[in-house]
A and B are shown apart, each in its own frame.
Chain A
């Protein structure tokens, strides 16, 4: 039994044959947003280092971060941040083995998408 048919078993169908679903899309988006935030994190660290180094270097970093391009990067980062935060809360809920049935999981997915847009608008209004 132990070593029967090792490595010669039929493989289950892989990702590429599945229709994109809300649950899989919201899952991969969590990973994308989490890792993409490295860019804005490094920009913010650069901003702090520049501020600690003197007014000239600060002017360069601050000029970039407050330019239209910097604003755009930060806007998408805030959207990604709130999405990743809500998706993280969803994982904290799922860790208790509750709300894992498909209809509820899809509702939570929409809540992450809608909630991140709302939180981004609130952030833009307040900041």
Chain B
């Protein structure tokens, strides 16, 4: 251990090792959501409360359907990145790994279900 210098110990031993990629990924999705979410809130909000026929007609149109599909995809990716940070902060050891795997499955699963449903409504 006497041969270990400060620099040697610090090299490659940042908290997450690849944290910049994670941060940049969240930055990209956050800017995308800045555009998508207002569009989604005001399209989804406008039609929520309508009859079944109105919903089918509305999401048969390209614009609301594409906005909804993109919003679901990007927000679940953004959520997955965010919840991973939350779990890394508060949960440790094996539970942390299990929790991150479970939340990743939920995120991608929910995104797939949402996009499938919108595709079926739209087509």
A92 near B49: Cβ-Cβ < 8 Å: no
Chain A 78-99 interface residues, beta-carbon cutoff 8 Å to B: 78, 81, 85, 88-89, 91-92, 95
Instruction: List, in ascending order, chain A residues with CB within 8 A of B37's CB.
Output: 81, 85
Q: A2-B4, A51-B117, A126-B42 are in contact. Are A42 and B49 (CB under 8 A)?
A: no
Q: Which residue of B lies closest to A47 (CB)?
A: B48
Q: Give the residue among B4, B76, B117 with the most A Cβ atoms within 10 A.
A: B117
A92 near B117: Cβ-Cβ < 8 Å: no
A81 near B1: Cβ-Cβ < 8 Å: no
Select which of B6, B34, B46, B118 is within 8 A of A1 by beta carbon: B6
The interface size of chain B toward A, counting residues with CB under 8 Å, comes to 41
A127 near B31: Cβ-Cβ < 8 Å: no
Q: A51-B117, A59-B52, A81-B41 are in contact. Are A45 and B82 (CB under 8 A)?
A: no
Bound complex: CA of A66 vs CA of B72, how far in Å?
20
The interface size of chain A toward B, counting residues with CB under 8 Å, comes to 34
B64 CB to nearest chain A CB (Å): 11
A52 near B82: Cβ-Cβ < 8 Å: no
A51 CB to nearest chain B CB (Å): 5
Q: Does A41 contact B (CB under 8 A)?
A: yes
| Contact bitstring B27-66, A, C-beta under 8 A = 1, else 0 | 1001101100100011011101100100110010000000
Instruction: List, in ascending order, chain B residues with CB within 8 A of A58's CB.
Output: 52, 55
Chain A to chain B: the 10 pairs with minimum beta-carbon distance, closest first: A127-B45, A48-B117, A52-B117, A52-B120, A45-B114, A49-B117, A55-B52, A2-B4, A88-B30, A45-B110
A89 near B34: Cβ-Cβ < 8 Å: yes
Pairs across A and B, CB under 8 Å, 23 listed = A1-B6, A2-B5, A3-B1, A34-B79, A34-B82, A38-B79, A41-B72, A41-B76, A41-B110, A44-B72, A48-B72, A48-B113, A48-B117, A51-B56, A52-B116, A52-B118, A52-B121, A62-B52, A81-B37, A81-B41, A89-B34, A126-B45, A127-B45
Q: Does A123 contact B (CB under 8 A)?
A: yes
| Contact bitstring A29-72, B, C-beta under 8 A = 1, else 0 | 00100110110011011001101110100110010011000000
| Contact bitstring B104-117, A, C-beta under 8 A = 1, else 0 | 00100010011011
